[in-house]
Amino acid sequence: MYSSSLFRLAVAATAALAVHSHAARTADDDLDDTPLPLVIWHGLGDAFNTDGIKQVGALADAIHPGTFVYTIALGADANSDRQATFFGNVSAQIESVCEALAAHPILSTAPAVDAIGFSQGGQFLRGYVERCNFPPIRSLVTFGSQHNGISKFRDCGSTDWLCKGAMALLRFNTWSSTVQSRLVPAQYYRDPADYDSYLEHSNFLADINNERELKNTQYKENIAKLTNFVMYLFEDDTTAIPKESAWFSEVNGTEITPLRARKIYQEDWIGLRELDRKGGLKFRSITGEHMQITEQVLNETMIDFFGPFKRTFDSDAAYVDSTFESEL
């Protein structure tokens, strides 16, 4: 959650492997198609122009030559963009991203785009899908994102005063209107032990998860229209707490309720069940701490889920069909 720039990348070596793998895989694809643009939203404490984010864009172009990469920035420079990951109104930030992408001369004319969300950028991109989704996202990939919120605020590094200031305010009064409209991590804070306060005061997450009594049907329709929603969980994550939030699991003390056993899925509040039935909801895991993404994982992700508009995708539908009765 606090560092999205810890990518273990060796782009030159990966590119050679990626081009070979891509050529072997795309025999049935329309190779004359230009790959869809790729939108990237970085995480808390990161910025749009860090080396790690740039390397991800370079890798996308190496695997699918001609990929136009757009990295979301909420500030004119790196410092203001990083500050916006801690301070700001998430709903207003998503609205600004909706406007920027809809007005972009390349993105707005593409048939669709693909997207990667790192840490909190993942749930923010999902908010984009639910609330506007123009241009529409085809494949949404999230790494260690807090889709079911966080229940604990992590300590900051000893010299990260921006983080320290934000965390101090968060702990002071999480549910105040000031904190909920100004402190970014507070807007996806969700403690099952204080669920009523969350439902009443949450400025962002309770809405996009459709947890309140009045449901927004557009959210469900937009998520169900995704071709792929790929959720990566970091098995050794001690930064985003609970780590199982990356898969929409509910963690209450020592009890873990997986997504398919929860009402958000069974009553299909945001379209996850419908997407799952057609094989588009994909659960993936990575051995390692938060945002420790190997080059192999990024390489395989881009090969499997990005590329030309007319390409086909492997479906997880067979797995879904065999597990629906037992898990529901």
Span between the terminal Cα atoms of the chain, in Å: 31
Say how far apart CA 197 and CA 183 lie, in whole Å.
Answer: 17
Task: Return the residue matching tokens 């720039």.
Answer: 5
How far is residue 255 from each of residues 193, 217, 250, measured CA to CA in Å?
A: 12, 30, 8
Contact 149, 190 (CB under 8 A): yes
Contact 41, 64 (CB under 8 A): no
Return the exposure string of 234-268: e unless at least 16 CB atoms fall within 10 Å of the residue's CB, then b: beebebbbbbbbbbbbbbeeeeebebbebebbeeb
Residue 237 is a catalytic residue: yes
Say how far apart CA 65 and CA 22 lie, in whole Å.
Answer: 10
- Selected catalytic residue, list 4, 119, 145, 245: 119
- Selected catalytic residue, list 237, 268, 276, 304: 237
* Cα pseudo-dihedral 314, 261, 202, 204, rounded to 10: 10
**Residue 283, beta-bridge partner list:** 231
Residue 119 is a catalytic residue: yes
Helices (H), the chain: 11-25, 51-63, 78-84, 90-103, 120-131, 161-172, 177-182, 195-201, 205-208, 217-224, 263-266, 272-277, 295-305, 317-327
Residue 290 is a catalytic residue: yes
Helix (H, G, I), strand (E, B) or coil at 236: coil
What are the catalytic residues? Answer: 119, 237, 290
